[in-house]
Amino acid sequence: MHDAVVVGGGPAGSSAALWLARYRRPVLVVDSGEHRNRWVDQAHGYLGFDPMHPGHFLDVAHEELGRYAEVAFRSGRVDAARREDDGTFTVEVDGELLATKRVVLATGVRDVFPEVDNFFEHYGASVFHCPTCDGYEARDRAVVAFGWSEQVVGFALTLLGWARSVAVVTDGRRFEGDDRHRERLAAQGVRVLEDDAVELLGSRGDLRGVRLRSGDVLPCRLAFFTIAHEPASDLDVQLGCAREEDGCTAVDEQGATTVPGVYAAGDMTPGLQLVQVAAAKGTVAGVACAQSLRGEGGIRPGRENEVPGYVGPMTEYEDAERPGAERLDRIEGEIDEIRNRVADQQGENEPRFIQEGELSEDEPVDDTIAPPG
């Protein structure tokens, strides 16, 4: 029985595992090695590592995890997961069944790509999907935005915050926006071409343009696309976790899903989809998961009884019920006894103890008496 199985070894899952390990929880990380930005030459905006190569970043992260005896790493895919009647879980990794007390899902999302020749030659070097991640690289350059839904309007206008010019190519479909949308784009000099993009021209890192079905070449140095992305796995659904309307797994502020004992982090949960955010969400979920294993927190209120070994957040204990409260009372009693004994020996009513903030040359400290602990 593992304490926790983390599914996904990207930034979110690796962070969750790191913090579970630091709480001394035996944790198994299962990763199929398809992290979302594996196509990218450089990822940006991670404080202290800007820019960084995503593969190298994860290699370092996994090496760090490998230094913890509590962490086991397995390459493979979790195909199925279920919650047992006793509140534990069974996950199936490449046909093998593993038992665990907790599950952390960090399986990310999968992008839908446009069908254009040479797409993968340029993807991650000059072709991107996220203006937040790579808009800065588009500054003062001619950019093409692929998309046909209303969403492409905001997308193209956002890109104008960096780019010299933006043209929308609908990839052969009809633009789904209305006249108002067209006017807004036209007012900013954004052309909408209801044409099919058939080929990206140039070599990796040196995009020269997009060849259209009509034969025209649209010169550009960068291209962005907004089509769709979807959850990379349905393990959350298999486990009974609720999803948000947009398909993200619903979590509370501790990364707890609606199923007690299951946590989720990273791109599969609501919010910004960035490496640093994914790592931070993994930290939150990993800590909450570890605390729940100590019976101390990290479980949604009202669901406590559904998780084995859970006794409740530390902060909610009445003094008398607090674990270790008895021991603390005993120590306090011992301190009082010593105080009284010393006071008797010194013939004083009250012995002098070192009080914080009272050290001064005018009042020499009596260091013959130190309270235990």
Ligand X SMILES: Cc1cc2nc3c(=O)[nH]c(=O)nc-3n(C[C@H](O)[C@H](O)[C@H](O)COP(=O)(O)OP(=O)(O)OC[C@H]3O[C@@H](n4cnc5c(N)ncnc54)[C@H](O)[C@@H]3O)c2cc1C
List contacts with ligand X (CB under 6 A): 7-13, 30-37, 39-40, 43-46, 77-78, 106-108, 111, 124, 128-130, 133-134, 232-233, 235, 266-267, 273-276, 278
> At its nearest, how many Å lie between ligand X and the CB of residue 10?
2
> At its nearest, how many Å lie between ligand X and the CB of residue 121?
14
Q: By C-beta, is 255 or 266 nearer to ligand X?
A: 266
- 243 C-beta neighbours (distance < 10 Å), count: 17
Are the C-beta atoms of 29 and 128 separated by less than 8 Å? no
User: How big is the CA angle at 309 (ends 305 and 315), to the nearest 5 degrees?
Assistant: 80
Q: By C-beta, is 38 or 322 nearer to ligand X?
A: 38
What Rg value do the Cα atoms of the chain yield, rounded?
29
Q: By C-beta, is 134 or 296 nearer to ligand X?
A: 134
Q: Is 78 helix (H, G, I), strand (E, B) or coil?
A: strand
Q: By C-beta, is 169 or 248 nearer to ligand X?
A: 248
Are the C-beta atoms of 114 and 145 separated by less than 8 Å? no
Q: By C-beta, is 11 or 147 nearer to ligand X?
A: 11
Closest CA to 266 of 9, 12, 10: 12
How far apart, in Å, are the Cα atoms of 87 and each of 83, 224, 302, 313?
6, 45, 15, 19
> At its nearest, how many Å lie between ligand X and the CB of residue 104?
11
Q: By C-beta, is 4 or 307 nearer to ligand X?
A: 4
> At its nearest, how many Å lie between ligand X and the CB of residue 77?
4
DSSP 78-122: EEEEEE-TTS-EEEEETTEEEEEEEEEE---EEEEPP--BTHHHH
Structure tokens at 330: 């005993």
> At its nearest, how many Å lie between ligand X and the CB of residue 13?
6
Q: By C-beta, is 122 or 296 nearer to ligand X?
A: 122
> At its nearest, how many Å lie between ligand X and the CB of residue 280?
11
- 288 C-beta neighbours (distance < 10 Å), count: 26
> At its nearest, how many Å lie between ligand X and the CB of residue 253?
17
What does the alpha-carbon distance between residue 288 and residue 310 come to, in Å, rounded to a whole number? Answer: 12
What does the alpha-carbon distance between residue 91 and residue 80 come to, in Å, rounded to a whole number? Answer: 6
**Amino acid at site 35:** H
